[in-house]
Structure 1
Amino acid sequence: MFIIPAIDLIEGRCVRLREGRLSSEEVYSKEPVAVAELWELKGAKRLHIVDLDGAFEGEPQNLKIVKRIAKSIKIPIQFGGGVRSLKTIREVLDCGVEYVILGTTAISKPEFVKQAVKKFKKRIMVSIDASNLKVRVQGWEKKTRKTAPVLAREMVKLGVRNIIFTDIRRDGTLKGPNISQIKKMLKVVNIPLIISGGISSLEDIRKLKPLEKKGLSGVIIGKALYTGQVDLEKAIGIGKQ
């Protein structure tokens, strides 16, 4: 089970939000390249980067920083935030990113997701972000009627081979992951699932570990790494057990 450190970018700064609200922004570093290098040094095998400016604007705004990060580390990067065209996917991949994450388009343009998967294969991931299992899009600002399990099934049918599930109500709260919702998602998909939202301790990682047998392939950790509540090296050790 991968333990994946997260870097969220706003105007080139490494930040964390609470439940996706811009008003809750906390700046943890003005040097995201150094942060990426630190996570690699501590044993991370993959890095999760979100361009929050891009998520709200509809087009990536921090690709220069992402390119610098990609040049400074050897581990693969999964990147999302405002990726809504094939041209943008190519631009992101050209920055040295290994996996591109689609979010809003999974709801608004499923045909585009199908095209992206056909063209870029396993390098396309879909992020399903939900509150009470109801999907939200456009930087989590817009509510939809679709549930996360239904959207996950639809994405699998389109050929998507990697899904990230984020529980918005837990994201940045350090309240622990919503195990019951994660189990519901694992029941409906037969592809690797990465989860995000609420990780606050090594005990949370231990609770998630048994779900690896049911398809949980990775856990994204953000705020808990920056506050020091989770030691990345120890978390990775639990993930490897």
Structure 2
Amino acid sequence: MVSTAADPNDNSLWAAMAAEDKAALRPQLILRHLPQGDVVTRAGETVEVVYLPVTADLANVIRFEDGRSGMATNVGRQGVTGLAAFLADEPCGWDVEVQIAGDAWALPADALRHRVLESPLLLRVLMRLTHNNQVEAAQNAVCNAVHTVTPRLARWLLTIKDRTGQDAFKLTQDDLATTMSVRRTTVNASWQELGKLGGIKASRGVVRIASREVLEHAACECYGALRRRMVSID
């Protein structure tokens, strides 16, 4: 679906680009609304289109043969999908799935590739973002191994708010269980705990952040560490 109202500068990567790079790429940008659950790039596929989210959040999802899956990292308005595979000119190593519905700017990967060859400044910005993504993936791996579910859930909800600009989003406990690679009963216990603390309110499949302060207090230290890396890529 084509959307109609958003500014490319709402995406931090685009905002960090030089004016000449924006001028070269802007005619090929198309704003799209991405429904929740859509897979925009599949594991093993060549990256044909990259997405610069503005209100959507997309997850890099690893799937296993037994049907289980988990999120390695997510991409919101701080970045672009498929970046590592794009820079390496390799097939994507995971599914890129829309986690939170919203708008994103679609850009043909070839257009970005051609521009990178002509612009050392753009390459520098993309390499800086790739480094941040690597740090996030490493932090996520250790966080999932060390921290309990409630701090991880608080951190994840805050991250989604930061990366979409939304205070409320369509999300079920089943979605969270899949994303966090834990049992639904475990998610439910943490969900109830954050609700009792006043951090979130949930109704009919929609969760709303009621108190950022409560969630920040409940979140693990990984939230602050990664948020500091999110604020600037220029």
TM-score band, normalised by shorter chain: under 0.3
| Higher share of residues assigned helix | 2
| Higher share of residues assigned strand | 1
Structure with larger RCO (C-alpha < 8 A, sep 6+) = 2
